[in-house]
Amino acid sequence: MSGSRSAGSEREIVHLLRAVVVELGLHSARFARENGMHPTDVRALIALMDAARAGEETTAGSLGSALGLNSAGTTALVDRLERAGHVRRERGERDRRKVTVVVDERAIALGEAHFGPLIARTTELLTSYDERQLDAIQGFLEGVREAAASDR
């Protein structure tokens, strides 16, 4: 620990991270409420977009596992998102026997309209950090994500 920090500064950072998580949750809940969605719908869309960004195809089963839902709950979720026009079921590109769940472009645009300003402000904030600091921030956040995921 650096000599310039108080003994409780690590704990204060954890509390600040918790406060950030709460604010982001409230932001996400507003999006869900304004668009007639359940908070799980928003988490599903985020999971699907993250998978697509990573080049991964997502089946309903893998989506349910990622969200901690059983088969019936996952089917109801995907059906609800499909009826609302947020997702569509498609045959897999690599395996045509597999049915994947894909986020519709309209849902992406809806999300960008709501979350875009926050993303832009956050990105702008990050430009004030040098490469070493950005690496530290990224490493810290990846570590926190892994710690949280290990509790599943």
Q: 100: part of which helix (H) or strand (E)?
A: strand 99-103
Q: Which residues of 122-136 are buried (b: 16+ CB within 10 A; e: fewer)?
A: eeeeeeeeeeeeeee
Residue 152: its pLDDT value, please? 66
CA-atom Rg of the chain in angstroms? 18
Residue 1: its pLDDT value, please? 46
The predicted-structure confidence for 73-90, as pLDDT tens digits, reads as follows 999 999 999 999 999 999
Two structure tokens written together for 18: 């918790």
Look up the pTM and report it.
Answer: 0.83
Two structure tokens written together for 27: 């932001």
Across the chain, what does the average pLDDT equal? 92
Residue 4: its pLDDT value, please? 60
Please, are residues 101 and 50 in contact by the beta-carbon 8 Å criterion?
no
Token pair 């498609």 is found at 90
Dihedral sign (CA 110, 114, 118, 121): positive
Residue 151: its pLDDT value, please? 75
The predicted-structure confidence for 2-58, as pLDDT tens digits, reads as follows 556 666 899 999 999 999 999 999 999 999 999 999 999 999 999 999 999 999 999
